[in-house]
Amino acid sequence: MESSNPSPDTKVIFDLLEAFRGSKAMFAAVKLGVFDALEDAPKSSVAIAAELKANADAMGRLLDACVSLGLLRSIAGLYSNSPAASIYLCSSSPRRMTGYLNYSNDILWKMWGNLEDAVREGSHRWKQTYGWDGPIFSSFFRTEAARREFLLGMHGYGQVSSPRVVAAFDLSRFRQLVDLGGATGHLSMAACQRYPSLNAVVFDLPGVVPLAKEMIAASPVAERIRVQSGDFFADPLPAGDLYALGRIVHDWSEEKIDRLMRKIYDHLPDGGGLLIAEKLIDEDRSGPLSAHLQSLNMLIVTEGKERTVGEYESLLKRVGFAEVQASRTQSPVDAVLALKRGTK
C-alpha cells in the first residue's frame, strides 16, 4: 500500500550528486585546450579530437556536456565558444580565469577529497594530500609558471569583483590606498579608475612584483600606482590613509589577523580606513551557499575562514576601529569598510 505522505523532492539531492561532474567537465575542457581550440572558428568534434589528440567519441561526449553546461554552442554539428567561455576560459583572453580553474583542478580537487579529515581535525590538508610542510602559499608557487598562471587567474577573478568592491562605499575622501597582498593590482586599478584623486601602492611578496608591474603598466591609471615588495606580517607598511585587504583576511588564523589589524590601525591617521573584500556569511548563518562553501575551502587550504558582518565588527572594533560598514556587492566577494576614530 502506497504511503499517503508525499516523498520530499529529490531535486536538491540529485543536483548536488552531479555537481562535481559539471565542475570536472569544465576543468577537463580547460586543461585539454577545448576552448582555445574553438576560439578562432567553429569545429566538429572529430576535428577538435584530432587537433587535441583525443578519442573522437569521448571528445564528443565532453563537448556535448559543455553545451548543456552553457559553455559551448552547437549548430549543425559545429561547436563554438559561448561568450563567457571566450572571455574567461581561453588562455589568450586578458580576463581569463584559467589559472584559478587549473589550480582548482590540479590542487584543490585532490585536497577536497580529504574534507572529512579536515572537519575531524580542524586543519588544512596540504600535508595529508601532498606531503608539503612549508608555508601554504609557497607550496603551489613552486615554479614561476605556476605562480604566474595562478595570479593571472586571480586577476580575472578580481576584474569581476574589484570594480564593485570599490564602488560599495564612497572612498573619494581618501588620497593614498595601500593594497596589502594586492597581487596583480586589480583592486588598486579599479579604485584609481573610479576615484581620480586617489593614488595606490600594491604591496606584495617579491615573487609577485614582476607580474604586478607588468599588469599595472598596461592600465590607464598606471602613473598613479606603484608596486613595492614586502611581507605585511614582517615588514613596515607603506604610508596611506586607506588600506585594503582583498581576499586576505580569510587566509589566516585569528591570532595572525588580529596582529595584522592592529598593525594597520597603528599606521592609519585619524579618519583613515580599512577596506576588506571577502564573502560575507549571513548573520543567522542561513547562507549564502557560496560563502559557506568558500569557508570550507579555507578550512581545507588555509588557516582561516569566512565571517559574518558581526564577526568582522567584533574583530575590527577590538583593535580600535570606531565604525564598521558592510555591503553586499552581488559579485564573488563583498565589502567591509572600517574607519579609525577621528573621522568627520
The pLDDT tens digits for 138-151 are 655 667 887 888 88
Question: Is cis: bond before 288, omega within 30 of 0?
Answer: yes
What sign results for the dihedral spanned by CA atoms 157, 293, 33, 247? positive
Rounded mean pLDDT, 211-230: 96
Q: Do both 169 and 272 map to the same domain?
A: yes
| Same domain for 299 and 151 | yes
170 and 78 housed in the same domain: no
Residues 59 and 152 in one domain: no
Residue 76: left (phi > 0), alpha (psi -120 to 50), or beta?
left
What percent of the chain clears pLDDT 90, i.e. is strictly above it? 85
What is the reported pLDDT for 170?
Answer: 98
79 and 150 together in one domain: no
Examine the domain organization and report whether 82 and 170 are in the same domain. no
The residues pairing with 202 across neighbouring beta strands, listed in sequence order, are 179, 227
Whether residues 192 and 306 share a domain: the answer is yes
pLDDT higher than 90, residue 314: yes
Reduced 3-state DSSP string for the chain: CCCCCCCCCCHHHHHHHHHHHHHHHHHHHHHHCHHHHCCCCCECHHHHHHHHCCCHHHHHHHHHHHHHCCCEEEECCEEEECHHHHHHCCCCCCCCCHHHHHHHHHHHHHHHCCHHHHHHHCCCCHHHHHCCCCCHHHHCCCCHHHHHHHHHHHHHHHHHHHHHHHHCCCCCCCCEEEEECCCCCHHHHHHHHHCCCCEEEEEECCCCHHHHHHHHHCCCCHHHEEEEECCCCCCCCCCCCEEEEECCHHHCCHHHHHHHHHHHHHHCCCCCEEEEEECEECCCCCCCHHHHHHHHHHHHHCCCCCEEHHHHHHHHHCCCCCEEEEECCCCCCEEEEEECCCCC
User: What CATH code is carried by the domain that includes residue 311?
Assistant: 3.40.50.150
Catalytic, 292? Answer: no
d(CA 167, CA 324): 16
**Residue 113, pLDDT above cutoff 70:** yes
- pLDDT for the residue numbered 140: 59
Confidence of residue 343 (pLDDT cuts 50, 70, 90): very low
Q: How confident is the model at residue 78 (pLDDT cuts 50, 70, 90)?
A: very high
Does 197 score more than 80 pLDDT? yes
- Is 102 domain-assigned? no
Residue of 181, 190, 180, 192 lying closest to 158 (CA atoms): 190
Which of the residues 124, 155, 186, 250 is marked catalytic? 250
223 and 307 belong to one structural domain? yes
Alpha carbons within 13 A on the beta-carbon side of 192: 22
pLDDT of residue 138: 62
Residue 138 cell numbers, joined: 609557497
Residue 250 has pLDDT above 90, yes or no: yes
Domain that holds residue 207: 137-339
Determine, yes or no, domain membership for 5.
Answer: no
Domain count for the chain:
2
The predicted structure's pLDDT at residue 3:
57
> Among 157-171, 185-199, 329-343, which stretch is predicted with the lowest mean pLDDT?
329-343
Distance (Å, whole) CA 143 – CA 314: 39
The pLDDT value recorded for residue 143 is: 77
**Tell me, what CATH number does 79's domain have?**
1.10.10.10
pLDDT band at 344 (very low <50, low <70, confident <90, very high): very low
pLDDT value, residue 2: 55
* Portion of the chain with pLDDT greater than 70, in percent: 95
pLDDT at 151: 87
Sign of the CA dihedral 127, 130, 133, 137? negative
Contact 306, 280 (CB under 8 A): yes
Q: Is residue 76 domain-shared with residue 166, that is, in the same domain?
A: no
Please name which of 327, 326, 302, 301 lies closest in space to residue 313, comparing C-alpha atoms. Answer: 326
Over residues 144-168, the mean pLDDT reads 89
Contact between residue 196 and residue 219 where contact means Cβ atoms under 8 Å apart: no
The model's pLDDT over 19-40, given as tens digits with 9 standing for 90+, comes to 999 999 999 999 999 999 999 9
184 in the same domain as 47? no
Does 93 map to a domain? no
Phi, psi at 81, each rounded to 5°: -75, 145
Shared domain for 196 and 305, answered yes or no, is yes
Q: Is residue 121 part of a domain?
A: no
Q: Residue range 311-319: average pLDDT?
A: 96
Last residue of a domain, one of 48, 72, 88: 88
Task: Centre a 10 Å sphere on the Cβ of residue 35 and count the other Cβ atoms it contains.
Answer: 25
**Is residue 58 in some structural domain?**
yes
Domain boundary (50, 67, 88) is at 88
